[in-house]
Amino acid sequence: MNGFGNQLKTVFLMSLLTVLVILAGNAIGGSNGMMMAFVFAMVMNFGSYWFSDKIALSMTKARPVSPDQAPELYEIMEKLTYNADLPMPKLYIIPSPQPNAFATGRNPNHAAVAVTQGLMQILDREELEGVLAHELAHIKNRDILIGTIAAVMAGVITTLANWAQWALMFGGLGNDDEGGSGLAALPLIILGPIAALLVQMGISRSREYLADTTGADIAGNSYGLANALQKLERASTMIPMEVNPSASHLFIVNPLNAKRVANLFSTHPPIQERVNRLFKMDIR
Q: Based on C-alpha coordinates, what's the Rg of the chain?
A: 20
Q: E-strand spans in 37-191?
A: 63-64, 90-94, 101-107, 110-116
196-235 pLDDT, tens digit each:
666 656 665 678 888 999 999 999 999 999 999 999 999 9
As a whole number of angstroms, the distance between CA 257 and CA 33 comes to 38
* Strand 110-116, strand 90-94: pairing: parallel
What parts of the chain have a pLDDT lower than 50? Answer: 1, 175-180, 261-264
103-141 pLDDT, tens digit each:
998 889 999 999 999 999 999 999 999 999 999 999 998
Give the phi and the psi of residue 84 in degrees, each rounded to 5: -85, -10
75 belongs to the catalytic site: no
Catalytic residue among 72, 127, 129, 135: 135
pLDDT at 179: 45
